[in-house]
């Protein structure tokens, strides 16, 4: 036995003698299961195609031939990985071209791409505010904004979703010099829009910058799918930070922060999720850039999406959607899971949101519509969903 072997076997003996440090996991698993909150990722299989109403692929671009070809071309040119962090050698000409074209399309002076939307939000918030500053957020914001707030070490005031008067009050009552207001523009849970114009006015009057996450609005709302900020005529405002993702309407992967040129260079210097993360994958860059060209060339795509969303909402008895999300409250998490399983057994994938993603008692089916769904498919989906809701007693 070598010295290393004997040290190792001694360590293992000590570990076996100790109480298992992860023993609590079994109890936790039981608790989660009993509450009906255990999650099993849905595994999509190539040989078993399903009708997908659970994705964020709102425009159906993830499988568009030009988008797939864009990914292939970038793979051929740059290889399978960006090979390092952006500041080292992980920035290719393709990254810079994409950022310039995205900024141009969305009406901002500059853009910076991160390897996910999650990391873009965390990077932007933590680079803009820190200890001794104030963030005003609301109860509907996405987990990536919440985590950015927590990691920033700023004081965080959380107001009710949509309560822009409370945002105004929190800014006026503050003692901190620097403040940031953060919000989703279209809330991810139910697709309803935030009062972005009112939040912008409150932030401006209170001397704060406003960060708006447009993940569920780009490709869906605004002129040619440019988002809610563009719809409100706020694109390029100097005190506005827009974030969005390449993982939804663009059908690829990645996150983007848009704003003034000085914001971009500040993020390059200070955003830890930019500095210490391997650069966005070249295939995702190429695919997203191709998706941008497809969207730019066909502004009717968002209109088709909204038409499909209206048709499905009417057929499942939901209110007219403001974006691409239709939320059908079931209540009990077990019933929601059973309804989603019923749909899956009939070849239809729908989202199923339960706590902690939504408050207790509001577990739901979440349907995300796509621009590329044919009308007969939408009608079939509606039949399946209605049948599922009836089967679990939610109708
Ligand atoms: N913001 C919002 C509003 C989102 O819904 C999501 C994705 N669920 C993200 C950010 C994170 O984006 P990504 O999946 O690219 O990390």
pLDDT digit string, tens, across residues 208-246: 999 999 999 999 999 999 999 999 999 999 999 999 999
Q: Is residue 11 part of a domain?
A: no
273 close to ligand 1 (CB < 6 Angstrom): no
Residue numbers of the domain that contains 46:
38-58+324-391
Look at residue 303 and tell me whether its pLDDT is greater than 70: yes
Could you identify the atom of ligand 1 that is nearest to the CA of residue 255? 15
Task: Please give the DSSP secondary-structure letter assigned to residue 153.
Answer: T
Q: Is residue 314 part of a domain?
A: no
Q: Is residue 198 part of a domain?
A: yes
Question: What is the predicted pLDDT for the residue at 320?
Answer: 95
For a ligand 1 pocket test, name from 56, 113, 118 the mutation site with the most ligand atoms within 8 angstroms of its C-beta: 118
205 and 242 in a single domain? The answer is yes
CA of 9 to the centre of ligand 1 (A): 45
Show the CA angle centred on residue 150, arms to residues 258 and 117, nearest 5°: 35
229 and 123 in a single domain? The answer is yes
Q: What is the mean pLDDT of residues 83-110?
A: 98
**Is residue 133 helix, strand or coil?**
coil
Q: Using alpha carbons only, how large is the chain's radius of gyration in Å?
A: 23
118 and 261 in a single domain? The answer is yes
CA of 142 to the centre of ligand 1 (A): 7
Question: What is the predicted pLDDT for the residue at 5?
Answer: 79
Nearest CA residue ID for atom 13, ligand 1: 117
271 and 339 in a single domain? The answer is no
CA of 124 to the centre of ligand 1 (A): 14
How far, in whole angstroms, is CA 215 from its chain's centroid? 5
Q: Is residue 215 part of a domain?
A: yes
CA distance 193 to 17: 56
267 and 341 in a single domain? The answer is no
45 and 187 in a single domain? The answer is no
76 and 164 in a single domain? The answer is yes
370 and 226 in a single domain? The answer is no
191's tokens: 């697709």
User: Domain containing 224 — which CATH number?
Assistant: 3.40.640.10
184's tokens: 């989703």
Per DSSP, the residues of 342-378 read HHHHTTEEEEEE-TTSS-TT-EEEEEE--TT--HHHH
pLDDT digit string, tens, across residues 160-214: 999 999 999 999 999 999 999 999 999 999 999 999 999 999 999 999 999 999 9
* Tally of domains within the chain: 2
CA of 147 to the centre of ligand 1 (A): 12
Average pLDDT, the chain: 95
186 and 265 in a single domain? The answer is yes
pLDDT digit string, tens, across residues 135-145: 999 999 999 99
Q: Is residue 17 part of a domain?
A: no
Could you identify the atom of ligand 1 that is nearest to the CA of residue 144? 10
Give the end of a domain, one of 297, 313, 332.
297
Question: What is the predicted pLDDT for the residue at 100?
Answer: 98
CA of 246 to the centre of ligand 1 (A): 9
Task: Estimate the share of the chain in helix, then strand, then coil, as percent rounded to the nearest 5.
Answer: 45, 15, 35
Look at residue 15 and tell me whether its pLDDT is greater than 80: no
pLDDT digit string, tens, across residues 35-85: 878 888 889 999 999 999 999 999 999 999 999 999 999 999 999 999 999
Q: Is residue 5 part of a domain?
A: no
Nearest CA residue ID for atom 15, ligand 1: 117
Q: Is residue 31 part of a domain?
A: no
Give the end of a domain, one of 262, 297, 332.
297
281 and 368 in a single domain? The answer is no
184 close to ligand 1 (CB < 6 Angstrom): yes
Helix axes 117-128, 261-270, angle to 10 degrees: 90
User: Domain containing 332 — which CATH number?
Assistant: 3.90.1150.10
| Matching residue, tokens 């850039």 | 289
Per DSSP, the residues of 193-224 read BP-HHHHHHHHHHTT-EEEEE-TTTTTTSSGG
CA distance 195 to 166: 12
Tell me the ipTM for this assembly: 0.99
pTM summary value: 0.94
90 and 222 in a single domain? The answer is yes
233 and 106 in a single domain? The answer is yes
Q: Is residue 312 part of a domain?
A: no
Q: What b/e string do you get for 340-372 counting C-beta neighbours within 10 Å, with b at 16 or more?
A: bebbbebebbbbbbbeebbeeebbbbbbbbbbb
């Amino acid at each position: 036995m070598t010295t290393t072997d004997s040290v190792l076997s001694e360590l293992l003996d000590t570990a076996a003698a100790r109480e298992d440090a992860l023993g609590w996991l079994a109890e936790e698993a039981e608790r989660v299961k009993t509450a009906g909150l255990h999650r099993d990722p849905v595994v999509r299989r190539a040989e078993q195609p399903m009708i997908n109403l659970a994705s964020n692929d709102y425009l159906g671009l993830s499988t568009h031939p030009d988008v797939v070809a864009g990914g292939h071309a970038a793979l051929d040119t740059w290889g399978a990985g960006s090979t390092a962090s952006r500041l080292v050698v992980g920035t290719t000409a393709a990254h810079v071209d994409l950022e310039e074209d995205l900024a141009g399309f969305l009406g901002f002076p500059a853009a910076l791409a991160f390897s996910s939307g999650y990391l873009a939000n965390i990077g932007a918030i933590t680079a803009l505010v820190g200890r001794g500053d104030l963030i005003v957020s609301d109860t509907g914001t996405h987990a990536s904004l919440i985590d950015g707030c927590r990691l920033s070490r700023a004081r965080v005031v959380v107001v009710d979703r949509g309560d822009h008067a409370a945002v105004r009050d929190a800014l006026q009552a503050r003692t901190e010099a620097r403040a940031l207001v953060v919000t989703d523009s279209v809330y991810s849970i139910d697709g309803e829009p935030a009062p972005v114009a009112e939040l912008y006015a409150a932030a401006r009057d209170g001397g704060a910058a406003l960060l708006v996450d447009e993940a569920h609005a780009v490709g869906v709302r605004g002129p040619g799918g440019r988002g809610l900020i563009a719809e409100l005529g706020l694109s390029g405002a100097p005190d506005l930070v827009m974030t969005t993702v390449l993982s939804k309407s663009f059908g690829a992967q990645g996150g983007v922060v848009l704003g003034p040129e000085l914001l971009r260079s500040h993020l390059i210097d200070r955003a830890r999720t930019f500095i210490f993360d391997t650069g966005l994958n070249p295939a995702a860059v190429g695919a997203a850039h191709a998706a941008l060209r497809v969207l730019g060339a066909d502004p009717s795509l968002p209109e088709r999406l909204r038409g499909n969303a209206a048709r499905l909402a009417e057929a499942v008895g939901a209110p007219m959607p403001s974006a691409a999300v239709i939320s059908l409250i079931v209540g009990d998490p077990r019933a929601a899971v059973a309804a989603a399983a019923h749909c899956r057994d009939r070849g239809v994938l729908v989202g199923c949101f339960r706590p902690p993603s939504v408050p207790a008692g509001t577990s739901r089916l979440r349907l995300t519509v796509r621009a590329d769904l044919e009308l007969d498919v939408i009608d079939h989906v509606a039949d399946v969903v209605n049948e599922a809701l009836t089967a679990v007693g939610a109708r």
